[in-house]
A = this chain, B = another copy of it.
Amino acid sequence: MVNSPPTSQSTNLPREFSFIRDHFGPLGGPAALGLRDDAAVFTPAEGRDLVVAVDTLVENVHFLPDDPPETIGRKLLRCNLSDLAAMGSKPEGWLLAFSRPAHITNDWTKRFSEGLHKDQETFGLSLMGGDTTSTSGPLVLSLTILGSVAHGQAIRRQGAKAGDGIWVTGTIGDGALGLQALQGTLEDPTGWLAEQYRLPRPRVGLPLFGLASAAMDVSDGLVQDCGHLARENGLHAVLYASTVPLSPAVQTAGSQWLPTCLTGGDDYEILMAVPPEHEAKLAASAMLDTPHGAVPVTRIGTFTNGPHTVTVLDDDGIPLTFPTGGWSHL
A310: min CB distance to chain B, Å:
5
The answer, yes or no, to whether A204 is at the interface (CB within 8 Å) is no
Residues of B within 8 A of A13 (CB): 231
Chain A 216-229 per-residue mask, 1 if CB under 8 angstroms from chain B, else 0: 11001001100110
Decide if A99 touches B157 in the complex (CB within 8 Å): no
A325: min CB distance to chain B, Å:
4
Bound together, the chains give a CA A61 to CA B14 distance in angstroms of 18
The answer, yes or no, to whether A242 is at the interface (CB within 8 Å) is no
Bound together, the chains give a CA A128 to CA B154 distance in angstroms of 15
Bound together, the chains give a CA A133 to CA B100 distance in angstroms of 17
Chain A 1-40 per-residue mask, 1 if CB under 8 angstroms from chain B, else 0: 1111110000011111001000000000001010011111
The answer, yes or no, to whether A290 is at the interface (CB within 8 Å) is no
The answer, yes or no, to whether A328 is at the interface (CB within 8 Å) is yes
Bound together, the chains give a CA A82 to CA B84 distance in angstroms of 28
Q: How many residues of A contact B (CB 8 A)?
A: 98
Main secondary structure on chain A at its contact with chain B? mixed
- From A149, which residue of chain B is reached at the shortest CB distance? B41
Decide if A227 touches B2 in the complex (CB within 8 Å): yes
Residues of B within 8 A of A151 (CB): 43
Q: Pick the residue among B135, B149, B154, B309 that contacts A12 (CB under 8 A).
A: B309
Decide if B39 touches A134 in the complex (CB within 8 Å): no
Decide if A38 touches B134 in the complex (CB within 8 Å): no
Given A3-B321, A137-B135, A142-B56, residue A330 in contact with residue B37 (CB < 8 A): no
The answer, yes or no, to whether A187 is at the interface (CB within 8 Å) is no
Bound together, the chains give a CA A312 to CA B82 distance in angstroms of 51
Given A44-B50, A51-B41, residue A329 in contact with residue B132 (CB < 8 A): yes
- From A307, which residue of chain B is reached at the shortest CB distance? B1
The 5 tightest CB contacts between A and B, nearest first, are: A137-B137, A39-B53, A97-B142, A5-B325, A38-B83
* 21 contacting pairs across A/B (C-beta < 8 A): A1-B310, A1-B311, A5-B326, A12-B309, A14-B326, A16-B328, A19-B330, A31-B52, A36-B158, A37-B216, A39-B83, A52-B95, A54-B130, A54-B142, A61-B134, A61-B136, A62-B133, A131-B142, A137-B140, A140-B140, A142-B142
Q: Beyond the given A39-B84, A44-B49, A131-B142, could you list 5 further A-B residue pairs with CB under 8 A, ordered by the A residue number?
A: A40-B51, A54-B96, A54-B129, A58-B137, A136-B137
